[in-house]
Amino acid sequence: MSDDENISLLRGYLKGVWTNHQLDALDRYVAPDYVQHSKHAAPGREGLKAFFLGLWAAFSEQSFSIDDVIVKGDKVVWRWTMHARHTGPFLGIAATGKMIAATGISIFRVAGGLFVEHWGEQDTVGLLQQLRGPSDR
């Protein structure tokens, strides 16, 4: 796929899944045997669906920014920021009602017009500090 096609794939994925919370959109953008190189999601597309259900249950009022996109060959990298309210359990922490800002970098490998592999790093320590710090209410 061309760089423009890979960017279009990313933008469709972000709009459908991250912004509009359309779980079935994963079927259009992610391969069934998707490989997740992260401890935050179980293997395959079904594991990714479970991840999103947990994320959406823990955080409401979500908004995302795409801070950078880099495409090279079959890799698509996006640096992101998520703003959300913590309204459900997350990593053993009960809902705090706090607004948070979480940042991370995701790297996807594309094959056959689908995301087939993912590596990701996020600032989990920074997120936990926000959840355990003083209330913003």
Domain for residue 137, yes or no?
no
Domain for residue 78, yes or no?
yes
Amino acid found at 65: S
CATH at 53: 3.10.450.50
Domain for residue 58, yes or no?
yes
Q: What is the distance between the alpha carbons of residues 61 and 90, in angstroms, rounded to a whole number?
A: 15
Per-residue pLDDT of the chain (137 residues; tens, 9 = 90+): 899 999 999 999 999 999 999 999 999 999 999 999 987 778 889 999 999 999 999 999 999 999 999 999 999 999 999 999 999 999 999 999 999 999 999 999 999 999 999 999 999 999 999 999 765 44
Q: What is the pTM of this model?
A: 0.87
Q: What is the distance between the alpha carbons of residues 5 and 103, in angstroms, rounded to a whole number?
A: 25
Q: In which element (H, E) is residue 61 found?
A: strand 59-72
How many domains does the chain divide into?
1
Question: What is the extent of the structural domain holding 86?
Answer: 3-132
